[in-house]
Amino acid sequence: MLESLLDFGEINRKPYLMFIWAFIICSVSIAVSLQISYRVPLENTIFDMTGIFSVLFIVLSSVYLITTTIKREEEMEEDDIDRHHQQNFWPRHKKDIVMIMFFFAGMTLAFSVWSFFLPPDTFMVQISKINEIQCISGSAVDYNAFFGQILLNNLQVTMFSFFFSFIFGAGASFILTWNASILGVYIGRISTSFWHIPIVSMAFLPHGVPEIAGYVCAGLAGSLISAAIIRQHKKGILKIIATDSFKILLLGVVLIVLAAGIEAYL
């Protein structure tokens, strides 16, 4: 039911509604995961599975809307090509990118709020990844080496986003949800009060916005070319869509490089 609260036309007119929808979907998914309360004995500790289940429930809830939006966007692009509309790739796809960015922001805020109020071991899988990232950044004393590590890791995620979205329809939704959960849990953990969460979030905007936009571009590029192949377009139309996808992917790589530079040197 929740996945049908918004339709494509409404989101296309008001992309910011994705922020509210993502926050609700994420909050409901975390609440359901808490009710499952499944814990796995692992060596000398009890591993809480809430963090994993919450990501899975969010993906299940959001994949229909995300994939439907991408398919309809691909259909609109096909129609533009048939009508010989000479638009650049940015006017055709900017609303998609903005909409998915709002989707990511809503999930991040939800994870931040829930992480602040819930016990520290609730999101153990996300905390494990955060500790791994902190070990990498903490061991880097050379800024150039740090930049290289960040760039390599983020480019790997970017390429994974592209190929995962190309092969698997839910790929883009999973990549965004997983990264939003990590960032949100981290913000929630380092916030000293509920009202401190927005202030802490602001510190991540300079490098976070281009980084996430890069992942969004990669996922969108993979999804568009996948939808075009499935629809078995004529060679001319497929070539134009493939060119657009390549441009979007290239834009994503540029944004990733920019984000790594900001994070390492500023």
The count of structural domains within the chain is: 1
Helices (H) and strands (E) in the chain, counts: 10, 2
Average pLDDT over every residue of 149-176: 83
Residue at token pair 């494509």:
8
Average pLDDT over every residue of 221-243: 73
| pLDDT of 226 higher than 80 | no
For the beta carbon of residue 31, count every other beta carbon within 10 angstroms: 12
Average pLDDT over every residue of 63-79: 67
Residue 105 is predicted with a pLDDT of 92
Pairing of strands 45-48, 39-42: antiparallel
Residue 181 is predicted with a pLDDT of 92
Residue at token pair 């080496």:
145
Domain that holds residue 142: 2-265
Lowest-confidence pick of 109-113, 233-237, 256-260: 233-237
- Tokens read off for 138: 């903490």
The contacts of residue 58 (CB under 8 Å, 6+ apart) are 25, 26, 29, 107, 173, 177
Its pTM stands at 0.84
| pLDDT of 142 higher than 60 | no
Residue 237 burial by Cβ neighbours in a 10 Å radius (0-12, 13-18, 19+): middle
pLDDT in tens, 180-213: 999 999 999 888 888 888 888 888 888 888 998 8
Task: Yes or no: say if 74 and 227 are a contact pair by the CB < 8 Å rule.
Answer: yes
Task: Yes or no: say if 51 and 124 are a contact pair by the CB < 8 Å rule.
Answer: yes
CA torsion, ordered 197, 24, 67, 37, to nearest 10 deg: 90
Task: Name the amino acid, one letter, at 129.
Answer: K
SS3 of residue 87 by DSSP: coil
